[in-house]
Chain A
Amino acid sequence: MVGSPVLLIAIPLLAAFLIPLIGMIWKESVRLIPGLVLAFMLVSSASMLLYVTNNSTIIETIAGWQAPWGINLVFSPLTGFLATLMIFLGFIVWLFSYRFKRNVDFEPAKKYFIFLMMLVAGAVGIVITGDIFNQFVFIEITSISAYALTAFYTGRNSAEASFKYLLMGSLSSSALLIAIAIIYSQLGTLNMADIADKMYLMPTGYKITALIFFFMGIGIEAEIFPLNGWAPDAYTEAPGPIGAAFAGIVVKAGVYAMIRLVFTLFDIPNSMQFLVVIGLVTLIVAETSAIKQDKLKRMLAYSSIGQMGLVFVAFGIGTAEGVFAALFLMLNHAIIKPLLFLSGSYLVFNSKEKKISEVNGLGKHMPITSLLFALGAFAIVGLPPFSGFWSKLSVLTAAANEGMILIIALVLIVSVVEIVYYFRVVNRIYFFEKSDNVVVQKPRINAMIAMLILGSIILVIGFDPDIVSIYLHKASHDLMNTREYIDNVLSIGQSLTK
């Protein structure tokens, strides 16, 4: 064994409890320790990912009880891939936000970094846990961190955004609890593999009711259409790096939870069509809402929601190819959207309203940041030779192979809308005159490094997509083979007899 998945959760928790203590003695530690923890997690998770890609899935039991009885952590190619991605982004966001704003007091800074770390840990927990109630607990950890981070600035609107998020989050946790109650009352178990194993025993009515409540509960985290009203507000009002973390980490965890339900837990074929429909509606509504935005981060938020819609469409195709495409899309979105948020947050750094019109002409004054923003915009609308193109191509190929021509057409039409609003911003950055009252903020060196890392990944994947495709193929294989997942988890203990 190369590492232990439980450390991915335990170490950040330990650090979270430790930081207030050490912070009393050495103030800088509150900023440094989360970074060290995230770096440790990154190394550990990456090495485990390499291991599971070539060998078998790592399954870790907790408290010594085997699969259906105790909680277990599953580090498979799929979960490992997503966990590594999230931790990587967490690290990038940490690197970026290290001393992001200089005049922040000690207490808020401490809290910011604790919450950031717990956000990552919670999201990783959502992904690698093998137990639905445990997943619920991790969703709550992530959500509370997210509420707190959204309300981080003491401005007028951040509390409002956070409150909306919390309102929806409470509904989400209620729905999840109801769903868990139904599942438990019928199957007497909470382990995902065990549930999947016995799902055929459950009466159809209960099964679908439970799925519907799950959809609502997790849909709020995954930002599907009627449930995503909180998202633009939270993205807009949270500090810039946190918008990146939401787009790259929190949503991805929600999407994972959703697909785990649809692909593994429940054996309802119609849920695939549901994913396609809901994904398309999300995509269309969000992208069309984005076009008239006058705030930069809000526009990015809508775009992010739209991309999640596309991810759901890709998952809804239901073939291994579709899953591959969806995961590729998630990967690319998790790299590109944070880059946009991070560079965007420097573009509107000193502005109060964060309006798009305030980025006019900044291309000359902050060349690298602007260039990275433009790179992100080019990549996210799917222009070759950047990474976004390959994922869009795989989605379309997968859809075409299933004969979903109408869906391809819709997705492409929406892409044109996307092009319009992204290019309007890029044009503003480069070809407009800067207004005099905009104060330019040079990025700090660590922020620059963080953005450059993301930018170079876009280029590398763009020129050679095959360096990630092996992980994606393994992961999609992992998601498609429900039986293998069940056997992997349950084989270490004996399955409960029926």
Chain B
Amino acid sequence: MEMIYLILVLFLGGAVLTWLLGKISPIIRDILFISSVIIPTVLFFMNVEVGHDVSFQVLGYKLSWGISYLAYLFSYIVLGLGSLASVYAVAAMKGKKNLGFFYSNFILSIMSMMGILLSRDLISFFIFWEIMTWSSYLMVVFRGKDVQKVGIKYFVFSAIGAYAMLMAIVIVNSLTNSLLISDLVSSFGSFSLSMKWLIPLLLLIGFAVKSAMMPLHVWAPGAYSNSPMAFTSMFSGALSKMGVYGMIIVMVSLVSYIPNGFWLKETIAWLGGITAVGGTLWAVAQDDAKKLLAYSSVAQLGYIIVGIGIGTPLAMLSALFMAVMHAIFKGNLFLVVGAIERQTGTSNLTEVSGLIRKMPWTFISALFSIIALAGIPPLGGFVGKWMLYESLIGSNHYLLVIVVFFSSTAAFLYSYKFLFGFFLGQEEKEWSHIKEAPAMMVVPMMILAVATFVLGTFPGLVLNPIDNGLQELGFASTQGRYWEMSALFNEWGNQVMLQPLVYAIIAVFLFFAAFLTIKGFKHTRYVTTKDISSSGEVPKEHENLTFSQNFFQPFLRAVEPFMKRRIDTYYSGIGNGLEAIFDFTRRIYTGNGQTYALYAVIFIVVLLMFKNALFGL
């Protein structure tokens, strides 16, 4: 059997078996779950090679599966994060109900993402896209919270996106009589002008929904925070990257060939910029860590979209690098929140504080991820952001630089809030019994934390595959590797490492860490939030005095005018209005049999009149 078939069948069979046999005993279920994620992963990396396609026919449509360099890059994200998150999930979800269902959905969503990456034609791409959508939908509603609102919103937006894609797909089929992506790319130049605009636009709508681009992002915060955290790390880390993957292909292979297509690119870049700013501001305002990270994901995806929209090789490079990094650190942060929620029962930043001593490993992995998120060297986030700025300035998008810069500065605010709210501050009595999460949860988090460090130090590990992918897309390389163009590597580093800079920073970092730790041990006096006596007012027992309360109030007051108009309210207005109209249309069915008979007579009269108008007597 072809290896690709085998991998997908293993995933699918694993999903079914986990569900069915999982009813027998939890141990069998857990083992089945982990092995049906790990075994295909190993098989994939051992056996699947780029450029080996298999094709077959269904209903007269020619389908083709295989893997490209670009997809291979994304499969690192999907399978790597998938394996780690699945190990984490087994420990994190222990004792919950309906776990068989959860696990099999987990496997299904990994399978569907791999399917998307393996698809070389639009139909199987769409099929796996939809499987991904509904399996992730089932995860969003898994906890049974707000299902009618959040779940339906997620699915409706996904469906709008997917149907836009489907429409593009059938139009492509009618124009080229083939559904292979390569055929679309090669014959795109011969389409009429309207089709040249319509098809990329429709496809972009589909991808923009999944990558949470404004104004199609409204599903994301609810959906990210509603699904179990073990899955959200996949959701935000890997699943949203499928939108990015599609978007890159469309922007590079199709939009570049549209006459005056740069307008579209500019628009996308600006939408990305707005997404970044909006997501950041909203993230700052959140008190729930899940919501905060969700908005932060939206913002981070905004950077990636900016990079894709600019479309120069360096920008693409930065976008892809940020995509990988985002998968790692955001995936990790959601795992951290999951761990905290599991141990404390809440994910609210204003309720929990001072966990640094209780959950040190969790803290360290959170710290690494936050630093990477904020874009501080030497961790991975820095390289991507640097290249983004460089490419923006290089292509004369100065205004956009300001926007992105503003948003990434503002990102410090929520990064700080996150770190501070959970781990620093006073230790509350009620959290004194908290213990560190089990090893099965800590190990994946630590692996991801180390990954941020490794990739920050050795960016070439990722940049080389990215470069392969870009060359495959048609950025023909003339002088070696693209990323060598970046000042970052020209000036301060050799081709693989950022050596001097890195060593210096690591030294400083370690020194400060050691210094602070030693100093901290000596002088710390542990107090609780209630342990204050200023101006003689003793706080009441239930008063929430955590530091994280109203953390950035002045800042929020300053940006309030921008945040007042929520797109969400417009959408719900449209939704409610439509439902009201629909409620009115069904009144056609009055319930009176005679009225129905009258309709029949009207029907015949209208037709007879039409007949007279069209054909004479």
User: A-side interface residues toward B, CB under 8 Å?
Assistant: 163-164, 167-168, 171, 175, 204-205, 208-209, 212-213, 215-216, 219-220, 226-227, 229-230, 232-233, 270, 285, 288-289, 291-293, 302, 378, 383-385, 389-390, 393-394, 396-397, 399-401, 403, 405, 408-409, 412-413, 415-417, 419-420, 423-424, 427, 430-432, 464-466, 469
For B130, what are the chain A residues with a Cβ–Cβ distance below 8 Å?
A: 383-384, 389
Stretch at the interface among B234-242, B531-539, B591-599: B591-599
Q: Is B147 an interface residue (CB 8 A)?
A: yes
Other A-B contacts than A205-B615, A390-B59, A431-B151, 8 sampled, CB-CB below 8 A, are: A205-B611, A209-B608, A229-B593, A233-B591, A289-B585, A292-B582, A464-B58, A466-B57
Would you call B593 and A424 a contact (CB within 8 A)? no
Would you call A403 and B174 a contact (CB within 8 A)? yes
Would you call A288 and B148 a contact (CB within 8 A)? no
Cα distance, A399 to B607, chains bound together (Å): 25
Nearest CB of chain B from residue A448's CB, rounded to whole Å: 17
Would you call A408 and B59 a contact (CB within 8 A)? no
Would you call B174 and A397 a contact (CB within 8 A)? yes
Q: Is B558 an interface residue (CB 8 A)?
A: no
For A465, what are the chain B residues with a Cβ–Cβ distance below 8 Å?
A: 58-59
13 examples of A-B residue contacts, CB within 8 angstroms: A168-B597, A205-B616, A209-B611, A229-B596, A285-B588, A289-B588, A289-B589, A302-B586, A383-B133, A384-B127, A390-B59, A405-B167, A466-B59
For B193, what are the chain A residues with a Cβ–Cβ distance below 8 Å?
A: none
Known contacts being A270-B614, A291-B579, A378-B134, is A227 close to B151, with CB within 8 Å? no
Nearest CB of chain B from residue A399's CB, rounded to whole Å: 7
For B163, what are the chain A residues with a Cβ–Cβ distance below 8 Å?
A: 412-413, 415-416
Q: Is the interface of A mostly helix, strand, loop or mixed?
A: helix
Cα distance, A227 to B607, chains bound together (Å): 13
For B611, what are the chain A residues with a Cβ–Cβ distance below 8 Å?
A: 205, 208-209, 212
Would you call B171 and A405 a contact (CB within 8 A)? yes
Would you call A175 and B604 a contact (CB within 8 A)? yes
Binary per-residue interface labels of chain B (119-154) against chain A in the complex, 1 for a CB within 8 Å, 0 otherwise: 000010011101101100100010010011001100
Would you call B170 and A399 a contact (CB within 8 A)? yes
Would you call A229 and B126 a contact (CB within 8 A)? no
Which residue of chain A is the closest to B129 with respect to CB atoms?
Answer: A384
Q: Is B410 an interface residue (CB 8 A)?
A: no
User: B-side interface residues toward A, CB under 8 Å?
Assistant: 57-60, 123, 126-128, 130-131, 133-134, 137, 141, 144, 147-148, 151-152, 155-156, 159-160, 163-164, 166-167, 170-171, 173-174, 579, 581-583, 585-586, 588-591, 593-597, 599-600, 602-604, 607-608, 611, 614-617
Would you call B155 and A230 a contact (CB within 8 A)? no
Would you call B59 and A229 a contact (CB within 8 A)? no
Which residue of chain A is the closest to B606 with respect to CB atoms?
Answer: A226
Report which of A302, A408, A419 forms a contact with B170, defined as CB distance below 8 A.
A408
Nearest CB of chain A from residue B351's CB, rounded to whole Å: 26
Would you call A419 and B167 a contact (CB within 8 A)? no
Which residue of chain B is the closest to A473 with respect to CB atoms?
Answer: B60
Cα distance, A416 to B126, chains bound together (Å): 16
Nearest CB of chain B from residue A309's CB, rounded to whole Å: 14
Which residue of chain A is the closest to B596 with respect to CB atoms?
Answer: A229
Cα distance, A389 to B133, chains bound together (Å): 14
Cα distance, A7 to B408, chains bound together (Å): 78
Known contacts being A212-B604, A215-B607, is A416 close to B160, with CB within 8 Å? yes
For B589, what are the chain A residues with a Cβ–Cβ distance below 8 Å?
A: 229, 232, 289
Nearest CB of chain A from residue B460's CB, rounded to whole Å: 39
For B588, what are the chain A residues with a Cβ–Cβ distance below 8 Å?
A: 285, 289
For B128, what are the chain A residues with a Cβ–Cβ distance below 8 Å?
A: 384
For B608, what are the chain A residues with a Cβ–Cβ distance below 8 Å?
A: 209, 212
For B602, what are the chain A residues with a Cβ–Cβ distance below 8 Å?
A: 226
Cα distance, A397 to B123, chains bound together (Å): 11
